[in-house]
Amino acid sequence: MSSSTPDEEAAGNRGASPPAALEVAAASHSYGKRKALENVGFSVAQGSFSVLLGLNGAGKSTLFCLITRLFATRGTVRIFGFDVNRAPGEALRRLGVVFQARTLDLDLTVMQNLCYHAALHGISGQDIKLRASFVLDQVKMADRARDKVRDLSGGQMRRVEIARALLHRPRMLLLDEPTAGLDIKARADILKHVRGLVAREGIGVLWATHMIDEIEPGDDVVVLHEGKILDHGNASEIAARAGAAGIGPAFNALTSAARFEGEPR
């Protein structure tokens, strides 16, 4: 992850070098008078695991709304070079999303949920049953395909949601606090699975979280606080810049410094 340079913007458009899996530039959003995001810009390289780190209310979910075109954005959001506002179909086809809120139909079976999602991407037929079994198998949920979602545990629902997000073979995966409310084992399983997707299949991942322990030193990290990016780069670089022992203390130092700057003198 890096700040967006003109080179990258050019790459995003013309493909001189491969476009970023996700590129956000100068994105802002307000709810009425309250500014939720201000001039946010960063990019996620293809096949990289990037963390969007911020406290509750930092603007992570708002940013996800802009990326998924739930809200129109001032600024630009590109997915593999496709602008979500100008070419939403092309952009959204390449994107898989796991929202913070549970979005499965509780009364439908796991397989029915997956087939509905496939239809929303214009895919049906025998191929999709195979594909659904494959993605469910990956999250170890193949044996629950015929069960109603209502009967699953929170961790199992999350795994199904991840499987569903991968159903249409996206190359970029967004996850909004996917481990919130899960126990330690379920958290670790999900994190491991998603990291595996990055390593094995070269999928780009943006993982929003407020949990420091989910970050590894080699990860790209965007530190979002009160709608602004405080720092971004490799986790160990951020720690070094802040003069801290790790990303955790660095995050605390950055956010408390931001608070002091914000106070009237």
Partner 1 sequence: MSGASASSPPAAQGLGLAQYAICLKGIVWREALRYWHQRERFVSALVRPLVWLFIFAAGFRSVLGVSIIPPYDTYVLYEVYITPGLIAMIELFSGMQSSLSMVYDREMGNMRTLLVSPFPRWFLLTSKLVAGTAVSLAQVYAFLLVAYFWEIEPPSPWGYLTVLPALVLAGLMLGALGMLLSSLIKQLENFAGVMNFVIFPMFFASSALYPVWRVKEGSPWLATICELNPFTHAVELIRFAFYEKINFLALAVVLGTTIVFLGAAIIAYDPSRGMLPRREGP
Q: Which spans of this chain sit near partner 1 (rule: CB under 8 A)?
A: 29, 31-32, 36, 61, 65, 68-72, 85, 88-95, 97, 99-103, 105, 107-108, 112, 115-124, 127, 130-131, 133-135, 137, 168-171, 201
Whether 88 contacts 67, CB under 8 Å: no
Which element (helix H / strand E) includes 192? helix 184-201
Which SS3 state, helix, strand or coil, does residue 29 take? strand
Shortest distance in whole angstroms from residue 220 CB to partner 1: 23
Looking at the Cβ atoms of 78 and 232, the one nearer to partner 1 is 78
The answer to whether 149 touches 104, Cβ cutoff 8 Å, is: yes
Min dist CB 249 to partner 1, Å, is 31
CB of 246 to partner 1, least distance (A): 33
Tell me the C-alpha distance between 132 and 126, whole Å. Answer: 10
The CB-of-73 to partner 1 minimum distance in angstroms stands at 8
* Minimum CB–partner distance for residue 13 and partner 1 (Å): 18
Residue (101 or 245) nearer to partner 1, CB: 101
Task: For residue 139, give every residue at least 6 positions away whose Cβ sits within 8 Å of its Cβ, in sequence order, or none.
Answer: 159, 160, 162, 163, 193
Rank residues 131 and 210 by Cβ distance to partner 1 and give the closer one.
131
Contact 74, 26 (CB under 8 A): yes
78 alpha-carbon distance from chain centroid: 14
- C-beta closer to partner 1: residue 39 or 234: 39
Q: How far apart are the first and last CA of the chain?
A: 35
Residue number with CB closer to partner 1 (163 or 221): 163
CA–CA separation, 220 and 223 (whole Å): 10
